Amino acid sequence: MIYFRSDYSLGAHPKVMQALMDTNMEHTDGYAEDRFSYETADMIREMIGKPDAHVHFMVGGTPTNTITIAAALRPYEGVISPATGHIYVHETGSVEANGHRVFAAPTEDGKLTPEAIEKVLLHHEDEHTVIPKMAYITHPTENGGVYTKAELTALSECCKKHGLYLYMDGARLGTALTWPGNDLSLKDIANLVDAFYIGGTKIGALFGEALIIMNDNMNDHFRYMVKRACALLAKGRLIAIQLKALLEGGEDSLYYELSRHENELAIKLSKGVVEKGYELWIPHQTNQVFVIVDNDKIKELEKDFFFYTWCPYDETRSVIRLVISWGSTEEDVDAILAAL
Amino acid sequence: MIYFRSDYSLGAHPKVMQALMDTNMEHTDGYAEDRFSYETADMIREMIGKPDAHVHFMVGGTPTNTITIAAALRPYEGVISPATGHIYVHETGSVEANGHRVFAAPTEDGKLTPEAIEKVLLHHEDEHTVIPKMAYITHPTENGGVYTKAELTALSECCKKHGLYLYMDGARLGTALTWPGNDLSLKDIANLVDAFYIGGTKIGALFGEALIIMNDNMNDHFRYMVKRACALLAKGRLIAIQLKALLEGGEDSLYYELSRHENELAIKLSKGVVEKGYELWIPHQTNQVFVIVDNDKIKELEKDFFFYTWCPYDETRSVIRLVISWGSTEEDVDAILAAL
Amino acid sequence: MIYFRSDYSLGAHPKVMQALMDTNMEHTDGYAEDRFSYETADMIREMIGKPDAHVHFMVGGTPTNTITIAAALRPYEGVISPATGHIYVHETGSVEANGHRVFAAPTEDGKLTPEAIEKVLLHHEDEHTVIPKMAYITHPTENGGVYTKAELTALSECCKKHGLYLYMDGARLGTALTWPGNDLSLKDIANLVDAFYIGGTKIGALFGEALIIMNDNMNDHFRYMVKRACALLAKGRLIAIQLKALLEGGEDSLYYELSRHENELAIKLSKGVVEKGYELWIPHQTNQVFVIVDNDKIKELEKDFFFYTWCPYDETRSVIRLVISWGSTEEDVDAILAAL
Amino acid sequence: MIYFRSDYSLGAHPKVMQALMDTNMEHTDGYAEDRFSYETADMIREMIGKPDAHVHFMVGGTPTNTITIAAALRPYEGVISPATGHIYVHETGSVEANGHRVFAAPTEDGKLTPEAIEKVLLHHEDEHTVIPKMAYITHPTENGGVYTKAELTALSECCKKHGLYLYMDGARLGTALTWPGNDLSLKDIANLVDAFYIGGTKIGALFGEALIIMNDNMNDHFRYMVKRACALLAKGRLIAIQLKALLEGGEDSLYYELSRHENELAIKLSKGVVEKGYELWIPHQTNQVFVIVDNDKIKELEKDFFFYTWCPYDETRSVIRLVISWGSTEEDVDAILAAL
């Protein structure tokens, strides 16, 4: 069985595992109060050019999103997300579990726009309404789309104008950073958003995300919020150790290398399916390829390949999602192209 | 100043006040455990033809909606509402404050449809998603629209089919029940929904709503839920006394009489504005009339009349909302028609 | 049946009812944005000598307590209450429903002390613990006890020293203010606490409490918190109208007069039972008298009198609570003394 | 620096790391829907003799406790814990964050008793009170105490009698199971409680606990609750792989071996300190030793040893906590005994 199922079907990249092995028998204090966590936080602050940023090592994407939102908002405030955003679609209401509304803004391509934000703001002006106080985006989007510098700048200015926090979910950030033509560096992002995270779970780690908060208001008693949300890992250093192994070296790091690898294979795959006469559901960017396939053909493919059938397309065809992970190989791509 | 501002700009109807005066010096136990509450609950059960229904006397619409939803849903479940629904637009996230998502279903006229429900259900099938478990409607809708028996039956069947509770917010229920051509009786409603409330605050009471729950699953430890939500009134009898004064007599009751009065004046008003050449924003039903008026004219009207400017219509015109309350008079309507 | 059951077995004092009748047919805007609310708030600010205080008109004690606490605390913060405090014992976890812990501090007589506060503070110093951030007291206590100026000053200083808010639940405040020997005026209280409320429900109103917040930090977006908690009354003026009728005139007001009446009858009752050879469970203050009575005698009393049997005392005796309300009469007291 | 700080100052036992390495490059589906998770769950069900038990692989102790409680309780219900229990003392209000009260029952030695439970139950009988619905214990207790079979049986019967769930936090369960004289087997525990967890984080794993639910009522939509609480690990298999490495072999497993090692060293340590004339704060059981030490001596020890100063004892002495972890060595113990 060949996996195009998700970004997390393997363990960690061998170099990440090696880093865990190398440090395994060193005693440290718990809860990310250890030299690995401090050093990695320093490294990240330097990478993004923000010496005063707050860095928190989080177990996964959902706690990172949920706690960042819950720590920043007052009880009567909500967060605007594209209707396709992870916090609206795939986190079982964890934002609402903390008492906050997610405003699902209509979106054509998975991106949030200043227009969509302002439409939500329109009708929220007195104590009978929830106050939208944050905009949430994923970069790349859930469908793989890469924001341009112009787009992110426009969002940033819109949020500043209206007093909203801008928060970026970077579960697959590496694939955006290394996408051909991308013009948004880590430093740009750090300048344009109030907080974002660099995702490790989906690119090479066993688990772990580096949450980076530039806006001090969002960081008040943050560790209390993490513990209260059951998300303060006892052996917190494990996340820092993995992220150091991934991120050390900046654009030459393992993280960028794995991300480039994902993008290259995904480009090969998307070109290949188009050459074979298939139609893409949406224009391809980063490591997810959405292909329209006959339902009969899908059944046949499922014998040898493991992937998600994303949604029905018409009466005889559906959309399948093929995810390239850091562990995917040229042979995997050749195999599915041959089978298609 | 003449008020077309809301349904609650006066105190209570004099007969309601009289009922409070008549019973004022009688001692009873608190928290709706008194003869007035028991008798009024019995009267309501008989009115709706449901001898086993649970009746709770609630202070206002928002606690009624929020607590009914919170009592019925498990933490990972949500409620589907038209995007214009009161729980989505005007309750400051009180449903989310209890941890539940409100799914805002797109709607053309304020009504929820089986199609809209099924569209929400489509993508909620595993533990990464919120489970829609209830459909919420207002009758009449926020804009005054009256569901037909066919429409409510279709909703009811759709909810049964998909295992959803159907709950009706009846803040202005009397105006729907007495709308010319309405084919939905209280007994029909009680047969078609799992729970609904008969609103007193907006039709003649100082405050108070009768929540009626037919579905036992929604009633489990309900009074605990009310108290926990800070909504168990110490002198609970006050609500029952008012509702008895309003509802006694069924279709000949004060409640029906006031509602008919509101509808009649609203019809006079809506006909009048059309005759004067104004355009209605939406087809008129029940006690709210939405009129498109020049912005200059609105400013002029505001000198003598108190009303909401609902939303901009185009560059020079806006929509105003004129509400007929039980205390509105023919003279009030004549006055604004003359001024328009 | 003669009632010694609670403070809320009647409607409102006739003068309060008259005030509601007198204003009933005047149109105003809703949600306490009306002249009655503004005027009554001004009157209260003057009474307490705090021209900048924030005044909110609340429906009942539980919403007042819960929302004041929820508005002031961050999610990881809690409130210290005597173990007998209303928020711990009789509000069905409504504080916890908003995510906050109630620290139940042991208490001998229902009063909170600086020592008890500091004992709770002892073990709360890092992100693994809830931060105690507020002290909650009732004045008089649940058992009727009256804080002295020295006691309240000590609490106030303790709270200031440790960065805690001090909040006073004044459900029965009038009976403390008019208790013989009391040395705490409304102005003293306003100087010593961050927020408190003057309770109407238990002293003469149909319902309604005046919440007064001196500390601006506790008032941020307070009305949003009220609406989100389902507690913003549509016809908000009703509370202000009642409280004006009660409080107008300061120490000569109806509120003080009714409170004095309650205390006088309670003193007569407590003296009477002691003269008849009964033992009081706790020293008597304000309008509640706790008497130790033979279980057989209790059964006999229950034929003609309605009261709470508070708790077992020993194998043959129990404690009964006799509450004097504003509507209790000399004849009521004579009757139960005769029956005892 | 020699560590007696906590149970989690190292990475994982080398055999656990090896298991992660061995399986690292195998593709599986995410979220614990993989063969490792299924197989390990089967193994655990067999170990405890409960073929129908539900097994969930959780990241850490706090999410396990919090989610188990939140999934089992209705909003107005609470959980009884010894006042020293982890959920009351060291989880930053995560239970309250889900809306539930923790009743802190006074305890002499960290154990909960039927008497303490019944004292809490006494005053909770109507809708004005939180309903206690679960009893929470840790085994061993926070101070290391081991419940006997008689004690756990009495708790179990008390809970059944009163309709409470009984839940056991087994963060350090291995040290109780292997304590000399312990008479409670895993199978006994599974028979006496409704749910418990076998803790890996503190005994040999990088992280991970096996939650085992015998009572079906507590398992309803449990995975939704986990995801909603941000605690569903993407690479869920990591927990099962580690726990299999630890638990395989039952009483001959690595988990039992490491636990025995901890107990043996702790006994050596506690005997040693007593022989040196020190006083133990509480009688010693399992892997934590609490010693009363002069404050000056503590300062001296801190140069070479890392441990917690637990609390002041008197004016010149404090209590220190010395934790033996799976990685502690005879040499570590000899060193601190020499230094004391």
Name the residue among C127, C226, C227 with its Cβ closest to that of A224. C127
Those of residues 148-187 in B touching chain C at CB distance below 8 A are none
The label of the residue with tokens 């429903």 reads C97
Instruction: Find chains touching chain A: ≥3 CB pairs under 8 Å.
Output: B, C, D
Nearest-Cα distance to chain D for C109, in Å, is: 18
Distance CA A66, CA A325 (A): 25
Per-residue pLDDT at C286: 98
Q: Which DSSP letter does residue D278 get?
A: P
Per-residue pLDDT at B218: 98
Neighbours of A335 (CB within 10 A): 14
Q: Give the containing element (helix H, strand E) for C236.
A: none
The beta-strand segments (E) located in C93-150 are 102-105, 131-138
Name the residue among B76, B226, B227 with its Cβ closest to that of D225. B76
Size of interface A-C (CB pairs under 8 A): 45
**Which residues of chain D carry a pLDDT beneath 70?**
none
> Which residues on chain C are in Cβ contact (under 8 Å) with A68?
none
Which residue out of A4, A7, A10, A27 would a mutagenesis test of the D interface target, given it has the greatest number of D Cβ atoms within 10 Å? A27
Select from C164, C209, C212, C214 the least CA-distant residue to C194: C214
> Which residues on chain A are in Cβ contact (under 8 Å) with C76?
221, 224-225, 227-228
Provide Rg for chain A, Cα atoms: 20
Per-residue pLDDT at B124: 72
Q: What six digits make up the tokens of C324?
A: 């004097």
Summarize pLDDT for C131-159 with one digit per residue, the tens. 999 999 999 999 999 999 999 999 999 99
Per-residue pLDDT at B292: 98
Residue B281: half-sphere exposure toward Cβ, Cα within 13 Å: 24
Which residue out of B225, B230, B306, B332 would a mutagenesis test of the C interface target, given it has the greatest number of C Cβ atoms within 10 Å? B230
Q: What six digits make up the tokens of C295?
A: 């279980």
> Which residues on chain D are in Cβ contact (under 8 Å) with A231?
63, 230-231
Within an 8 Å CB–CB cutoff, is residue B84 touching chain C?
no
Query: Contact C68/C95 with Cβ under 8 angstroms?
Result: no
Please, is A41 exposed, middle or buried when counting C-beta atoms within 10 Å of its C-beta (0-12, 13-18, 19+)? buried
Nearest CA in chain C to A231: C128
Nearest-Cα distance to chain C for A74, in Å, is: 8
Report whether pLDDT(C122) > 90: no
Distance of CA D53 to the CA centre of its chain: 19
> Which residues on chain C are in Cβ contact (under 8 Å) with A98?
75
Please, is C298 exposed, middle or buried when counting C-beta atoms within 10 Å of its C-beta (0-12, 13-18, 19+)? middle
> Which residues on chain A are in Cβ contact (under 8 Å) with D3?
27
Residue A268: half-sphere exposure toward Cβ, Cα within 13 Å: 18
> Which residues on chain A are in Cβ contact (under 8 Å) with C220?
74
Within an 8 Å CB–CB cutoff, is residue B223 touching chain C?
no
Judged by CB atoms closer than 8 Å, whether chains meet at B93 and A104 is answered as no
Summarize pLDDT for C95-105 with one digit per residue, the tens. 999 999 999 99
SS3 call for A167: strand
DSSP string, A110-164: S---HHHHHHHHTT--STTSPEEEEEEEESS-TT-----HHHHHHHHHHHHHHT-
Nearest CA in chain D to B226: D127
What letter represents residue B58's amino acid? M
Q: Which residues pair with A311 in a beta bridge?
A: A319
Q: At what angle do helices A254-275 and A237-247 cross, to 10 degrees?
A: 70
Judged by CB atoms closer than 8 Å, whether chains meet at A10 and D24 is answered as yes
Residue C103 phi, psi (nearest 5):
-80, 115
Query: Contact D232/D223 with Cβ under 8 angstroms?
Result: yes
Query: Contact A309/A298 with Cβ under 8 angstroms?
Result: yes
SS3 call for C328: coil
Nearest-Cα distance to chain B for D269, in Å, is: 47
Judged by CB atoms closer than 8 Å, whether chains meet at A90 and B128 is answered as yes
Within an 8 Å CB–CB cutoff, is residue A69 touching chain D?
no
Select from A209, A211, A192, A323 the least CA-distant residue to A255: A209
Q: Which residues pair with B55 in a beta bridge?
A: B212
What is the value of ipTM here, to two decimals? Answer: 0.97
Judged by CB atoms closer than 8 Å, whether chains meet at C9 and B23 is answered as no
Judged by CB atoms closer than 8 Å, whether chains meet at D11 and A23 is answered as yes
Query: Contact B57/B140 with Cβ under 8 angstroms?
Result: no
SS3 call for B189: helix
> Which residues on chain C are in Cβ contact (under 8 Å) with B29?
5-6, 9, 306
Within an 8 Å CB–CB cutoff, is residue A1 touching chain D?
yes
Distance of CA B121 to the CA centre of its chain: 25
Select from C200, C244, C254 the least CA-distant residue to C44: C244
B50 Cβ partners below 8 Å, 6+ apart? B190, B212, B214
Judged by CB atoms closer than 8 Å, whether chains meet at B74 and D220 is answered as yes
For chain C, helix (H) and strand (E) counts, in that order, are 14, 13
Within an 8 Å CB–CB cutoff, is residue A97 touching chain B?
yes
Distance CA A267, CA B79 (A): 41
Neighbours of A272 (CB within 10 A): 17
Query: Contact D173/D146 with Cβ under 8 angstroms?
Result: no
Report whether pLDDT(C115) > 80: yes
Report whether pLDDT(B215) > 80: yes
Judged by CB atoms closer than 8 Å, whether chains meet at B130 and A76 is answered as no
Per-residue pLDDT at B268: 98
Judged by CB atoms closer than 8 Å, whether chains meet at C75 and A70 is answered as yes
What letter represents residue C60's amino acid? G
Query: Contact B132/B167 with Cβ under 8 angstroms?
Result: no
Within an 8 Å CB–CB cutoff, is residue B331 touching chain D?
no
Within an 8 Å CB–CB cutoff, is residue C128 touching chain D?
yes
Nearest-Cα distance to chain B for C88, in Å, is: 12
Name the residue among D25, D230, D235 with its Cβ closest to that of A8. D235
Q: Using pLDDT thresholds of 50, 70 and 90, give the confidence band for residue B125.
A: confident
Mean pLDDT of C182-194: 98
Cα of first residue to Cα of last residue in chain A, in angstroms, is: 15
Query: Contact A162/A80 with Cβ under 8 angstroms?
Result: no
Which residue out of C2, C172, C230 would a mutagenesis test of the B interface target, given it has the greatest number of B Cβ atoms within 10 Å? C230
Within an 8 Å CB–CB cutoff, is residue C100 touching chain D?
yes
Within an 8 Å CB–CB cutoff, is residue D142 touching chain C?
no
Residue B136 phi, psi (nearest 5):
-115, 130
SS3 call for C168: strand
Query: Contact A83/A90 with Cβ under 8 angstroms?
Result: no
Instruction: Find chains touching chain D: ≥3 CB pairs under 8 Å.
Output: A, B, C
Residue B177: half-sphere exposure toward Cβ, Cα within 13 Å: 26
Q: Using pLDDT thresholds of 50, 70 and 90, give the confidence band for residue C124.
A: confident
Strand order in the sheet with D308-312: D279-280, D288-294, D317-323, D308-312
| Cα–Cα–Cα angle for A174, A180, A183, rounded to 5 degrees | 75
Query: Contact C209/C200 with Cβ under 8 angstroms?
Result: yes
Judged by CB atoms closer than 8 Å, whether chains meet at D104 and C102 is answered as no
Question: Parallel, antiparallel, or unpaired for β C308-312 and D131-138?
Answer: unpaired
How far apart, in Å, are the Cα atoms of D288 and each of D168, D258, D308?
19, 14, 11
SS3 call for C310: strand
**Which residues of chain A carry a pLDDT beneath 70?**
none
Within an 8 Å CB–CB cutoff, is residue D104 touching chain C?
yes
Judged by CB atoms closer than 8 Å, whether chains meet at A75 and C232 is answered as no
The label of the residue with tokens 């139940």 reads C104
> Which residues on chain A are in Cβ contact (under 8 Å) with D28?
9
Select from C214, C276, C182, C240 the least CA-distant residue to C36: C240
Question: Parallel, antiparallel, or unpaired for β C209-213 and C279-280?
Answer: unpaired
Contacts 24+ apart (CB under 8 A), D329-332: D329/D265, D330/D265, D330/D268, D332/D2, D332/D3, D332/D4, D332/D265
Neighbours of C232 (CB within 10 A): 28
Those of residues 4-63 in A touching chain D at CB distance below 8 A are 5-6, 8-12, 14, 17, 20-21, 23-30, 59-63
Nearest-Cα distance to chain D for C73, in Å, is: 13
The label of the residue with tokens 């705490």 reads C184
Summarize pLDDT for B68-93 with one digit per residue, the tens. 999 999 999 999 999 999 999 999 99
DSSP string, A52-100: T-EEEEES-HHHHHHHHHHHH--TTEEEEEETT-HHHHSSTTHHHHTT-
Which residue out of A130, A308, A309 would a mutagenesis test of the B interface target, given it has the greatest number of B Cβ atoms within 10 Å? A130
Within an 8 Å CB–CB cutoff, is residue C124 touching chain A?
no
